[in-house]
Amino acid sequence: MNTVTPSTHERILHQGLALLSQVGLAGVTLGMLADRVGMSKSGLFAHFRSKEDVQIGILTYMGQCARQQVVAPAVQAAEGLPRLQALVQHWLGWAPRAGLPGGCPVAAALFELDDVDGPVRQQVLAMEREWRGLLTQLVRQAITLGHFRHDLDVEQFVWELCGIYLSHHAAQRFLRATDADARAHTAFQALLARAQPPRVRHRRGNASSACPPTRCTRRHPREAQEHH
């Protein structure tokens, strides 16, 4: 019987996540992973029973990494708009900053697994719903605190924010565009401006700014464009 130690398990997941981010779910097979980790396929079987089991294990591990890299620093910010802004700042381009050589495995899986059914798709679906649920919660907090208007269509806001993330991913990773961060920032500022209460928009006389005066640490779109 093989000895299953936590460190070996962790090493497999770590290598598997790097592999997943580069080649997508189709490339994460027991054989490919065994090669990458430098162990036999039968050795891997002590840890995972099937290809689907490996893929789900790696996706779950990815969720833990994303919580550390994206969510944990964001919850340091004040509730409402500052926290939402911090989350978006840490979300855009999180994968390379987390040491993943490829892009975000969930973003890729949204396009890779649209035509299949089974436990791996269910896992990605659960993770995507949990993520959109967190975004929804932060937007609702911003409404409660008066940072956003009370009649805001929260689901629409989250839907468009996910579009900004996907466009940023495609621009930065596939097109290898150098202005992806600035473009995403401008798009996000416009989305925030539409979400503001009318009095804020009127008082500030600038529909493209939605930062509360004392909290904002992000550059404004015009500044961002000048720097890129």
Which DSSP string corresponds to 37-99?
Answer: HTS-HHHHTTT-SSHHHHHHHHHHHHHHHHIIIIIHHHTTSPTTHHHHHHHHHHHTTHHHHTT
CB–CB of 185/216 below 8 Å? no
Q: What character string, x for contact with a second copy (CB under 8 A) and - otherwise, covers 179-198?
A: ----x--xx--x---x----
Q: Is 152 in the site for a second copy (CB under 8 A)?
A: no
The CA-based diameter of the chain, rounded to the nearest angstrom, is: 71
Q: Which of 96, 159, 82 is nearest to 74 (CA)?
A: 82
Q: How far is the CB of 1 from a second copy (least distance, A)?
A: 35
113, two tokens: 């697994």
Stretch that binds a second copy, among 1-9, 42-50, 108-116, 211-219 (CB under 8 A): 108-116
In the complex, the smallest distance separating the C-beta of residue 103 from a second copy, rounded to whole angstroms, is: 5
Q: Which x/- pattern, by CB under 8 A, does the window 27-66 give for a second copy?
A: x---------------------------------------
* Residue of the chain from 163, 202, 203, 217 that contacts a second copy (CB under 8 A): 163
* Radius of gyration for the alpha carbons in the chain, expressed in angstroms and rounded: 20
Q: Which residues bind a second copy (CB under 8 A)?
A: 21-24, 26-27, 101-103, 107-115, 124-125, 128, 153, 155-156, 159-160, 162-164, 166-171, 173-175, 183, 186-187, 190, 194, 225
